[in-house]
Amino acid sequence: MSYIPNTDDDRHRMLEKIGADKIDDLFCAIPENLRLKNPLNLPKSLSEMELMREIEGIAARNRGNLTIFAGGGTYDHFIPTAVEVISSRPEFVTAYTPYQAEVSQGTLQVIYEFQSHICRLTGMDVANASMYDGASAAAEAAMLSAAKTGRSKILISDTVSPLFRNVIRTYLSGQKIEIVELSQHEGTTDFDLLKKRIDGDTAGIILAQPNFFGMIEDVERGGEIAHASGAHLILAIDPIAAAVLKSPAECGADIVIGEGQPLGIPLNFGGSLLGFFAVKKELIRLLPGRLAARTDDDKGNTGFVLTLQTREQHIRREKATSNICTNQALSATMATIYLSLMGKQGLKRVALLSMDKAHRAADMIFANNKYRPYFKGAFIREFVVKTPVPARELIDRAIRQNSVLPGINLGRFYHDMDDALLVAFTEKRTDDEINALARVLNEI
Amino acid sequence: MNIPAGLKYTREHEWVKVDGKTVTVGITDYAQGELGDIVFVELPKPGAELKVGGAFGTIEAVKAVSDIFSPVTGKVLEANTALEDDPMVINRDPYGEGWMIKAEMANDSELNNLLSPEDYKNLIG
């Protein structure tokens, strides 16, 4: 059947009304040689049943049910069923922008709760309604820092996710901001190099805790170096690890960003994700994106509104820090439900279990001398293994032969690290799965 | 509409009080009324350079933001920091407690381009 609602007769009447002979006349402004002359090269249409068979056939060619030891910013955590059930209620699944507070109380309250959770997790004063993903949040943080300080240089340790750094470079091209990436030293930020490169024109430095290699960084030292030069410390965090680490606020962070996918959002082959963004109070007027607040109406009833909207582009135009005035509402809702169900203790438990499994696995993998730790130093739930064969090859074989995705090939992101495998753990990985991983690695 | 005599005005609705080489600048009663409740003011620091017609700060109401423009070229001597904690002073007393900056003029002749109270009254009709 055709799903196009207007009939030939309808079209004919519309054309007549506007004084055109045929549909093509409507495109006369487009030069002849640029117009599509033939129909699109598509196979003929299928019935719903045929279509289902076709698509299921394609899906069946995927190698499903891999045991996932890949992380690098997104992780295979357990998601309570309630997260999906509650977040898929039609009241939450809406594309409606909550600018009319009187018809958006539910949406606004969810955003407010999300912001409150992020503030508790980071120790910061205020968080926005969320951003597209951790990487775009990092880029927005760099822009905020430049806007606030009036300076134009951002230093980034290359222990920060390479995916974040790619997005920052893209996002800031065309802004008059210089991005300086600093080579790591033995798996963590090279603070001596940082000290050398920071100057009076540095707006902020970006560090990650834990860093992309899973290691603990001395971010407080980074904060001291930044603040001594009048620059901001921008910290990218793993929200699960945050449950057991000293809070970013206590470490001197001015801006905290991160990827919220581990908070109840499925991996979905890498998207859609959820960025979170929190700042100290003095940066609130430059905060990008939406911000929900609790207030009282003239009768004293509590209600929720979007606030400080003058920050945003629809009011401030070219003076706005950011041209974003949206958020990832559904993903933020899922994260809010997840955090509400887990609570402080539950989240800590997830972090500790992930950490415990990672350390036990490390002991097993490094028990014989075939594999060695790539870096020395403390890690949380993820670490780098030095592999005897190129990591890419090892991953390929483990997937094909054992249905195990053993980690990420760091050679994709760092030249001269083709023998580096980044392995991640969550509370979902069972003892049997960890034993199997060690066995698979040993057989290669 | 309060348009005090003895002050000069700009087309962007700032008032200017001249005292020798020093000028005091704020926004007019008409401007505060148009903006509504003022929630935030961003002012320059003492020592900042001013250019005639250039923005020296921003003023934010609940649903609008506007720049504040300098009536003269010169240097900021003082900014009214009391406005940071209570910007509504501008709504209550635009020509008094609601002043924004004091500045040292570099060029008196720029004052000739400013409006008299009558001119300003005609401007806002």
CA max distance for chain B: 38
The pLDDT tens digits of the residues spanning B94-108 come to: 999 999 999 999 999
What residues contact residue A261 under an 8 Å CB cut-off, 6+ apart? A73, A74, A75, A133, A267, A273, A274, A331
DSSP E strands in A196-330: the ranges are: 202-209, 232-237, 255-259, 275-279, 292-296, 302-306
Averaged over B40-69, what is the pLDDT? 91
Cβ within 8 Å, pair B64-A310: yes
How far is B111 from chain A, CA to nearest CA, in Å? 29
How many other CB atoms are there within 10 angstroms of residue A50's CB atom?
A: 10
Of A312, A255, A286, A314, residue with least CA distance to A147: A286
Q: Provide the pLDDT confidence category of residue A399 given band limits of 50, 70 and 90.
A: very high
Contacts of A315 in chain B (CB under 8 A): 63-65
How many other CB atoms are there within 10 angstroms of residue A370's CB atom?
A: 13
Q: Are A375 and A215 in contact (CB under 8 A)?
A: yes
Of A218, A215, A253, residue with least CA distance to A236: A253
Q: How many residues does chain B have?
A: 125
The pLDDT tens digits of the residues spanning A111-168 come to: 999 999 999 999 999 999 999 999 999 999 999 999 999 999 999 999 999 999 999 9
How far is B121 from chain A, CA to nearest CA, in Å? 28
Q: Are B73 and B50 in contact (CB under 8 A)?
A: yes
Q: Indicate which of B39, B60, B66 best probes the interface with A, i.e. most A CBs within 10 Å of its own CB.
A: B60
Contacts of B60 in chain A (CB under 8 A): 310
For residue A2, pLDDT over 80 is answered with: no
Nearest-CA residue of chain B relative to A320? B65
Q: Are A275 and A133 in contact (CB under 8 A)?
A: yes
How far is B89 from chain A, CA to nearest CA, in Å? 19
Distance CA A337, CA A275 (A): 16
How far is B21 from chain A, CA to nearest CA, in Å? 30
Contacts of A309 in chain B (CB under 8 A): 63
The first and second tokens of residue A225, run together, are 């170096």
Averaged over B112-122, what is the pLDDT? 96
User: Which residues on adjacent β-strands are paired with residue A173?
Assistant: A175
User: Which residues on adjacent β-strands are paired with residue A209?
Assistant: A237
Of A252, A239, A171, residue with least CA distance to A205: A252
How far is A311 from chain B, CA to nearest CA, in Å? 9
Distance CA A12, CA A15 (A): 5
User: Chain A within 8 Å of B82 (Cβ-Cβ)?
Assistant: no
Distance CA B44, CA B80 (A): 10
For residue A27, pLDDT over 80 is answered with: yes
Nearest-CA residue of chain B relative to A311? B65
User: Chain A within 8 Å of B64 (Cβ-Cβ)?
Assistant: yes
Q: Are A338 and A263 in contact (CB under 8 A)?
A: yes
- β-pairing verdict for A302-306 and A292-296: antiparallel
Round the CA-based radius of gyration of chain B to a whole number and report it.
Answer: 13
Q: What is the pLDDT of residue A62?
A: 85
User: For A313-327, b where at least 16 C-beta lie within 10 A, e where not — what string?
Assistant: eeebeeebbbebbeb
Q: What is the pLDDT of residue A323?
A: 83
Q: What is the mean pLDDT of chain A?
A: 94
Select the residue of B40, B42, B64 nearest A315 (Cβ to Cβ). Answer: B64
Q: Are A399 and A69 in contact (CB under 8 A)?
A: no
Contacts of A319 in chain B (CB under 8 A): 58, 65
Q: Indicate which of A310, A318, A321 best probes the interface with B, i.e. most B CBs within 10 Å of its own CB.
A: A310
Q: Provide the pLDDT confidence category of residue A1 given band limits of 50, 70 and 90.
A: low
The pLDDT tens digits of the residues spanning A39-83 come to: 899 999 899 999 999 999 999 998 778 999 999 999 999 999 999
Q: Provide the pLDDT confidence category of residue A310 given band limits of 50, 70 and 90.
A: confident
Residue whose entry in the numeric block shows the structure tokens 């001596």: A192
What residues contact residue A223 under an 8 Å CB cut-off, 6+ apart? A233, A251, A252, A253
What residues contact residue A260 under an 8 Å CB cut-off, 6+ apart? A130, A134, A239, A273, A274, A275, A276, A331, A332, A335
Of A182, A156, A174, A306, residue with least CA distance to A234: A156
Contacts of B42 in chain A (CB under 8 A): 285
Query: Does residue A205 sit in helix, strand or coil?
Result: strand
For residue A246, pLDDT over 80 is answered with: yes
